[in-house]
Amino acid sequence: MSSARQQLSQREIDAVLRHYRVGAVRDIRELPEGSFYSPKVVLDTDRGTMLLKRRARGLDMPALVAFGHEVLLGCQQHGLCVPPLIGTVGENNSFVQHADHVYELFVFIEGNRFDAVNPKHAFGMGSLLHETHRVMDMVRPSFAPASEPGTIDLSRLAMLKPIDELLPPGLSADFERIASYAHELSQANARPTALVHGDWHPGNMIYRADTLVAVCDFDNTRVGSRDRELAQALMHASMIAPSPGQGGAMVPPEPDPLRLDAFWQGYIRAGGRANARTIAGLMPGVMIDEALASLGPSPSEQHGAMLTAIWRKAKWLDEHQHALIEQFAG
């Protein structure tokens, strides 16, 4: 599986922009962020600075796109700061279909990326997650929503079998044990499903100084478990990323305690409610489930290295659940 970032050609940019009224385009620059399979460019136009994006395969079904756009527009109407969608000329459609692809045009929101050494950024992520859930409760999309198969999809464990010889001894057994516990925990403490953002991680946050000013990328919006979304978001906000040239085996497996606490406090102080035991127990299982979902149809040796790094982190979270519960409950 290639890891090369896809790009938008000048020809397809021109073809898509014919559907919009943006005036002259003075400059085009690639935005090499987010999914490798969803290329983006920033356009300097007479109408302002715009972001043109091609949807990744699997997230480009028209009904799915329309559902996500309804949720995004509903959130915007209720005061959530999201990148505004630009409608097409004439019919004011929220996306364009061209050459078997789906494209979206947004107003580009200037800002900075998540700063891992600034706890206020993690605090803002937690606070805005609760606010987003609160606003989503007021949105009533007319298109049928996508939904998660469950909080934890145990069927994904079968994806380990083709690459079992590439994995360290004990990894598969630990994955099954941790994921099964998270699945049982989620079933025993299940709350009603609701709209979720689906991809709450630092790369989808836009900051100005210490302030989180917008959330973007509603491609994975669906009906699902908000406990899972909270556990997954805590993981993304607090896990320590490798430095340039550093292998996964050299990265500390534990989350950054300041970011973990800042995110949790942001969520709780904004009015969010969650069972500390459930969230602490879900974190390692969700991490495993997300990693397995990313394998694709042809797992490789590269995936084996990724899963080994996830194994270290998931085991640490599993072994320190009591400490995490005390931290969240305190």
Residue 223 lies in a domain: yes
H-type helices in 165-239, by residue range? 171-188, 226-238
Same domain? For 192 and 324 the reply is: yes
Q: What is the pLDDT of residues 31-65, one digit of tens each?
A: 998 888 999 999 999 999 999 999 999 999 999 99
Same domain? For 221 and 285 the reply is: yes
How far, CA to CA in Å, does 49 sit from each of 26, 90, 106?
10, 21, 9
> Which SS3 state, helix, strand or coil, does residue 295 take?
coil
Same domain? For 305 and 279 the reply is: yes
Mean pLDDT score, 260-283: 97
CATH number at residue 244: 3.90.1200.10
Same domain? For 153 and 297 the reply is: yes
Domain boundary among 107, 137, 153: 107
Average pLDDT value over all residues in the chain: 93
Same domain? For 98 and 132 the reply is: no
Same domain? For 172 and 230 the reply is: yes
Same domain? For 95 and 200 the reply is: no
Domain boundary among 107, 139, 165: 107
DSSP 241-284: PPPTT--GGGS-SSPPHHHHHHHHHHHHHTT----HHHHHHHHH
Residue 211 lies in a domain: yes
> Which range among 22-26, 117-121, 134-138, 247-251 shows the weakest confidence by mean pLDDT?
247-251
Q: How many separate domains does the chain show?
A: 2
Residue 113 lies in a domain: no
Residue 112 lies in a domain: no
Token pair listed for 17: 């922009």
Strand 40-45 and strand 48-54: the pairing is antiparallel
Mean pLDDT score, 100-104: 97
Range of the domain at 25: 10-107
Same domain? For 87 and 132 the reply is: no
CATH number at residue 63: 3.30.200.20
Same domain? For 97 and 190 the reply is: no
Residue 1 lies in a domain: no
Residue 4 lies in a domain: no
pLDDT score at 220:
94
- Give me the residue label for tokens 């409608």: 87
Q: At residue 1, does pLDDT exceed 50?
A: no
Q: What is the pLDDT of residues 221-245, one digit of tens each?
A: 999 999 999 999 999 999 998 888 7
Is 0.85 surpassed by the pTM of this model?
A: yes
State the Cα–Cα distance between residues 132 and 141, nearest whole angstrom: 15
pLDDT score at 3:
60
Residue 90 lies in a domain: yes
Same domain? For 133 and 204 the reply is: yes
Domain boundary among 107, 137, 159: 107
Residue 2 lies in a domain: no
Same domain? For 158 and 278 the reply is: yes
Token pair listed for 270: 């904004």
Same domain? For 95 and 188 the reply is: no
pLDDT score at 149:
77
